Amino acid sequence: MLMQDSIDLALKMTTGLPTKLILKASAAHPKPEGVTFSYGTAGLRTKAAVLDSVCFRMGLIGALRSKRLQGKVVGLMVTASHNPEEDNGIKAVDSRGEMLEAAWEPFCTQLANASTDDELISVLESIIITFKIDLSIPATVVYGHDTRPSSPHLVKALVDGLVAFGTQLIDAGLKTTPQLHYLVKAHNTKGTPEAYGEPSEEGYYKKISQAYLKLVAGKPSLSPLVVDCANGVGAPALLAITKYIAADALPVRILRTSTGVQGALNNGCGADFVKTNQRLPIGLEKDGIEAGDRLCAFDGDADRLIYFYCNGPPSTKSSFRLLDGDKIASLATDYISELVKKADIDIKVGCVQTAYANGSSTKYLKQRVPVTCTPTGVKYLHHAAEAYDIGVYFEANGHGTVLFSPEAVRTIKAAQASPSSPAAQDALEQLEQLTELINQTVGDAISDMLLVEFILRARQWGPEEWDGAYEDLPNKLLKVNVKDRSAFKTTDAERRLTSPAGLQEKIDELVGKYKGARSFVRPSGTEDCVRVYAETALASDLDSLANGVAKLVQESSGST
Ligand code: 16G
Ligand code: MG
């Protein structure tokens, strides 16, 4: 295109930009000085006190993204997940219910950091031109928030951003992150053959509870499950779903539900606390927990799930046993691939993990299905799982779900017309219900919990039997503060470093000294640090390897 032509086109595309309205609204949401924001692995996240302008600007982004997608509904979720209560953040949800297209992320960062009105407008213009956005298309955005005290204020800022573009608003109010993903997909598929469910919170509960009830029908009940809701939004959501599922179908004790208590959120409880510290939520041993009880924990926005139990007195630290995302992936993959075999259909099941997956889980899974490794972050796993007919993906930290390709769903439905045996018919029915039970837009603590509960019930397993699938290799995760984490560059799904020069060779040399060992280093996408993961066959080697690699990282970078 000639230079003049492209200038004309750019002018034409941006003439509809309501500059005055945007700047007037923006004046009420000034960017704090001296703060640099970054759209990280899962959105923007930092101290709530500095996020007002970011939320306003993400409202602008939401409107533009919806326009770009021909007016389809997109989502914005105000949450900081498992972070402390004083943090907050915002995640954007694309029209199919998945995470925002990665190409938009750098623009979110640029817009959040624009420090003058001119800069703000110029970033908006570059988004419009880059993505060829027709501003005359009306936008619709559904938005929700978690239980943080700062959330309502930040939602107001977000709405101001949306209104500046004349966006049609759908206020979802208090929601779990996966519920918001569900709503986006449900809105966009309403009235189509792919209708995902009623676009309401009630529709969400109905869809998954009906599937669960069909799946567990006739299967003897298990002992009650104890759930730690992290004092977050998972508490009201879980309470709500128990209105749709009677206690004999889902015997459950719901704990850590203090959403109104200041400072309680994710504090000494929740999935991240349990996984990182490899211990019970603080004080849980005094809640009448016994050895062998099935326990699980959500994170603050209920998109992560971790199970655990004690194989001895709960007051003894050594009795703690973790059933993390890897164990959930193994349980689900094993059960689903068995169903596919019984159903006698030509469907390929695969599993997606990250480098953090315990080596024993990868070995276990590889004996059953193909396994892919991706970089950290749901968007990478989700994408890779789409390559399989049925793709199970989980991060060790409990983020994950199962995806059924449209072709797999068609095959399952079609095969039900002429199943090869009664066993095949039963397996096909189960597979069909699983497509309804599982929230396929994103990992969902509640839906994943029901999946685990169903499988355990079908197998009549307690936590010990599930845990018996394989024994985790001893492992450790360390945080190293460095001067500049951007100096750390990785390849091979984050399993190897390409920079700083020479560091990977030193790590390799060190790892080679320990039996059955593995270690990798990556810059965090959510915190200003570098993470070191180490795994060894012998527990006695673990500290020495993890500390040794951390030392190499420090030496190579000059720690802070
Ligand atoms: C975010 C990611 C999570 C990932 C974590 C890694 C989503 C929805 N969340 O919380 O999947 O495990 O970041 O954090 O993608 P890190 O980069 O600080 O290690
Ligand atoms: Mg979360």
What's the confidence (pLDDT) of residue 147? Answer: 98
Instruction: Write down the mean pLDDT value for the chain.
Output: 96
What's the confidence (pLDDT) of residue 509? Answer: 98
Q: Is the CB of 378 under 6 A from ligand 1?
A: yes
**How many separate domains does the chain show?**
4
From 264, 291, 321, give the residue that closes a domain: 321
Residues 85-118: tens digit of each pLDDT: 999 999 999 999 999 999 999 999 999 999 999 9
The CATH number of residue 213's host domain is 3.40.120.10
Q: Is the CB of 382 under 6 A from ligand 1?
A: no
pLDDT greater than 80 at residue 8? no
8 and 151 share one domain: yes
250 and 395 share one domain: no
Question: Is 464 a member of any domain?
Answer: no
- Kind of pairing between the strands at 252-255 and 225-228: parallel
- Kind of pairing between the strands at 349-354 and 371-374: parallel
* Catalytic-role residue among 53, 66, 81, 151: 81
Question: Is 187 a member of any domain?
Answer: no
Return the minimum-mean-pLDDT range out of 11-15, 155-159, 535-539: 11-15
CA of 44, nearest ligand number = 1
Q: Is the CB of 42 under 6 A from ligand 1?
A: yes
| Residue 409, token pair as written in the block | 């769903």
From 278, 297, 321, give the residue that closes a domain: 321
What's the confidence (pLDDT) of residue 558? Answer: 59
Ligand 1: which of 526, 527, 528, 529 to mutate, most ligand atoms within 8 Å of CB? 526
Mean pLDDT of 167-184: 98
| Residue 91, token pair as written in the block | 């995640």
What's the confidence (pLDDT) of residue 2? Answer: 60
Q: What DSSP assignment string belongs to 467-508?
A: HTT--PPPEEEEEE-BS-GGG-EEETTTTEEEESTTHHHHHH
CA of 376, nearest ligand number = 1
What's the confidence (pLDDT) of residue 13? Answer: 81
29 and 105 share one domain: yes
pLDDT class of 168 with cuts at 50, 70, 90: very high
Q: Is the CB of 79 under 6 A from ligand 1?
A: no
pTM, two decimal places: 0.96
Q: Is the CB of 399 under 6 A from ligand 1?
A: yes
314 and 329 share one domain: no
Question: Is 290 a member of any domain?
Answer: yes
Question: Is 460 a member of any domain?
Answer: no
pLDDT greater than 80 at residue 5? no
Q: Which atom of ligand 1 is nearest to the CA of 91?
A: 8
Instruction: Look up the domain containing 424 and give its range.
Output: 325-441
Clarify whether 81 is annotated catalytic: yes
Question: Is 252 a member of any domain?
Answer: yes
Residues 248-284: tens digit of each pLDDT: 999 999 999 999 999 999 999 999 999 999 999 999 9
Report the nearest-CA residue for atom 5 of ligand 1: 377
CA dihedral 495, 499, 501, 502 (to 10 degrees): -20
Phi and psi at residue 484, to the nearest 5°: -145, 100
pLDDT greater than 70 at residue 187? yes
| Residue 241, token pair as written in the block | 């779903």
307 and 342 share one domain: no
Report the nearest-CA residue for atom 19 of ligand 1: 524
281 and 228 share one domain: yes
pLDDT greater than 80 at residue 394? yes
Going from the Cα of 70 to the center of ligand 1, the distance in angstroms, rounded, reads 30
Residues 402-461: tens digit of each pLDDT: 999 999 999 999 999 999 999 999 999 999 999 999 999 999 999 999 999 999 999 999
339 and 229 share one domain: no
Q: Is the CB of 353 under 6 A from ligand 1?
A: no
296 and 352 share one domain: no
Percent of all residues in the chain with a pLDDT value above 90, rounded to a whole number? 95
From 386, 416, 441, give the residue that closes a domain: 441
Going from the Cα of 540 to the center of ligand 2, the distance in angstroms, rounded, reads 33
Mean pLDDT of 539-550: 98
What's the confidence (pLDDT) of residue 6? Answer: 74
Going from the Cα of 285 to the center of ligand 2, the distance in angstroms, rounded, reads 25
504 and 358 share one domain: no
What's the confidence (pLDDT) of residue 1? Answer: 55
Angle of the 19-27 helix axis to the 52-68 helix axis, nearest 10: 160
313 and 330 share one domain: no
CA of 306, nearest ligand number = 2
75 and 207 share one domain: no
537 and 389 share one domain: no
Residues 201-232: tens digit of each pLDDT: 999 999 999 999 999 999 999 999 999 999 99
Residues 329-345: tens digit of each pLDDT: 999 999 999 999 999 99
Question: Is 392 a member of any domain?
Answer: yes
